[in-house]
């Protein structure tokens, strides 16, 4: 049986004071299994995460990684640099990176390769826009995004990754895919991976990301192919984030 995993993506948010309050609350919270929760912070705050979370059951990671190991790539951050700050995870292919920075699925696949090579676990994001969903293209869009990773990165990399379905139309909008909608896409993703490697498909974690809240997390996480959440805004408030974590790790009565 697959374990659950919850990752909090801070996006471009945070301050030293706010982070300290949040991280201290997470580090002191009971009931979080080791390796079951991670925060994904902006680069400048990774050192603070390392200081305040070291020794706790909560892990930390970054929001992007370069395909390059070193060199004349101003503004880029390599996987080995992230590893030095104790990062275990890194997001690649977030919809905001795809839309605002023109990242292609092939580049996302190369970033996943770079992350695994550095010893990190990439959280590889796929998802469709509202227009794509309404035109009935959800599976074709996600299939194309996923196939680039499966073919370019290969199954060895996919087996060391976490996948995340983030419907673009549900990110920061307050709209959430219903549990049935999420399960339908997660099942499709797992079947797509199974077409290459059934064992890998059975073991790979697939997270849901898109306005996850304490009020809907339990229903989402109860679906058989939803293995946890990639949480945005709710991960910035300790009480809200811990309520989501509780939905993942505390059996309902």
Residues designated catalytic:
94, 166
Cβ neighbours for 58, distance < 8 A, ≥ 6 positions apart: 23, 26, 27, 32, 37, 38, 39
Question: What residues are paired with 7 via a beta bridge?
Answer: 38, 230
Phi, psi of 130 (to 5 degrees): -65, -40
Cβ–Cβ contacts within 10 Å for residue 221, how many?
23
* 149 neighbors 112 (Cβ within 8 angstroms): yes
237: helix, strand or coil: coil
Contact between 142 and 127 under an 8 Å Cβ cutoff? The reply is yes
CB 184 within 8 A of CB 165: no
Run of H or E residues at 105: helix 105-118
Helix then strand count (H, E) for the chain reads 12, 8
92: left (phi over 0), alpha (psi -120 to 50) or beta: beta
């Amino acid at each position: 049986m697959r374990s659950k995993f919850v990752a909090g993506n801070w996006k471009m948010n945070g301050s030293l004071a706010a982070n300290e309050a949040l991280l201290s609350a997470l580090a002191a919270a009971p009931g979080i299994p080791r390796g079951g929760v991670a925060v994904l912070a902006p680069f400048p705050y990774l050192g603070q995460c390392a200081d305040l979370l070291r020794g706790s059951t909560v892990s930390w990671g970054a929001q992007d990684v370069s395909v390059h190991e070193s060199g004349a790539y101003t503004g880029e951050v390599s996987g080995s640099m992230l590893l030095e700050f104790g990062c275990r995870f890194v997001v690649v292919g977030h919809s905001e990176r795809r839309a605002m920075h023109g990242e292609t699925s092939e580049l996302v696949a190369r970033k996943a390769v770079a992350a695994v090579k550095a010893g990190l676990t990439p959280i590889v994001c796929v998802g469709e826009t509202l227009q794509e969903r309404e035109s009935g293209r959800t599976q074709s869009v996600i299939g194309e995004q996923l196939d680039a990773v499966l073919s370019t990165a290969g199954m060895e990399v996919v087996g060391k990754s976490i996948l995340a379905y983030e419907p673009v139309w549900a990110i920061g909008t307050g709209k959430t895919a219903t549990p049935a909608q999420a399960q339908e896409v997660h099942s499709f993703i797992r079947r797509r991976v199974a077409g290459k490697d059934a064992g890998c498909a059975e073991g790979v974690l697939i997270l849901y990301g898109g306005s996850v809240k304490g009020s809907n997390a339990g229903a989402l996480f109860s679906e058989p192919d939803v293995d946890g959440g990639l949480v945005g805004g709710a991960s910035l408030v300790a009480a809200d984030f811990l309520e989501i974590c509780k939905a993942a790790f505390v059996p309902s009565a």
